[in-house]
Structure 1
Amino acid sequence: MCLANKGFPSDWTLSWKLDGSSSSSSLEQSRSPGVLQNDGLYSWSSTLRLPADQWRKVGSVTCEASQSSQSAVIETLRRNQCSQS
């Protein structure tokens, strides 16, 4: 799950990259619209679901928050940073 907080205006989008490449549209993704908070700024969330076999093949997953007039905010999680179960 990717959470983005304290953004403005409301038209930011969240997108996913696997190993630095844009994720396939066939992957299961869900996104929330921007939610106006009490401070006048917005928050968003996006969830990416990967089958276990695909998760084992990727080295990193990146969430990118972007809006046309502002620099993108990027956060990358490397698979080896996650606990194995």
Structure 2
Amino acid sequence: MVRPSVSLLPPSSEQLSGGSATLTCLLSGYSPQGAVVSWQVDGTEVTEGVLSSSEEEKSGRYSSSSTLSLSRENWMEGELYSCGVLHHDHSQTQSLHRSQCEG
């Protein structure tokens, strides 16, 4: 079993200036498939605005992405954004602080 490599990407400044915010959680290089992504904002699970997809890599491992789409207002209301990944019996979390993304 190979654990996914997880990275959490903040919304771009261009996107924020346009009035929306999308966070992206990327998983790569894991096997077998079956990774589950969940999102939390300030410790509360969020399911609205979440879109996930996965695909098989040439190596036979899997990669997937999950996006959380928010309005700029909702983005500004939260501070701690977390992407949680459960891959069979192993869980890991990546987090970012909104205040550290304001450029």
Q: TM-score range by the shorter chain?
A: 0.7 to 0.9
CA drift at 1:4: 0.5
Secondary structure of 1:53's match? helix
1:31 aligns with 2:52: yes
CA drift at 1:83: 2.7
| Corresponding residue for residue 86 of structure 2 | 66
The one of 21, 36, 40 equivalent to 1:17 is: 40
**What letter matches 2:52 in structure 1?**
R
- Decide which structure has greater strand share: 2
Secondary structure of 1:38's match? coil
User: 1:25-77 CA distances to partner (integer Å, 9 max, x unpaired)?
Assistant: 3x211110x311122211000110111111111111101111232x2121001
Could you tell me the TM-score, scaled by structure 2's length? 0.70
| Corresponding residue for residue 3 of structure 1 | 26
Counterpart-to-counterpart distance in 1, 2:42 and 2:60: 35
Counterpart-to-counterpart distance in 2, 1:20 and 1:7: 26
Q: Which ranges of structure 1 fall in alignment gaps of 5 or more residues?
A: none
Could you tell me the TM-score, scaled by structure 1's length? 0.84
Q: Which ranges of structure 2 fall in alignment gaps of 5 or more residues?
A: 1-23
Identity of aligned residues (%): 28
Question: Which portions of structure 1, spanning 4 or more consecutive aligned residues, are displaced by more than 4 angstroms?
Answer: none
Counterpart-to-counterpart distance in 1, 2:61 and 2:97: 29
Q: Give the CA RMSD over aligned residues.
A: 1.3
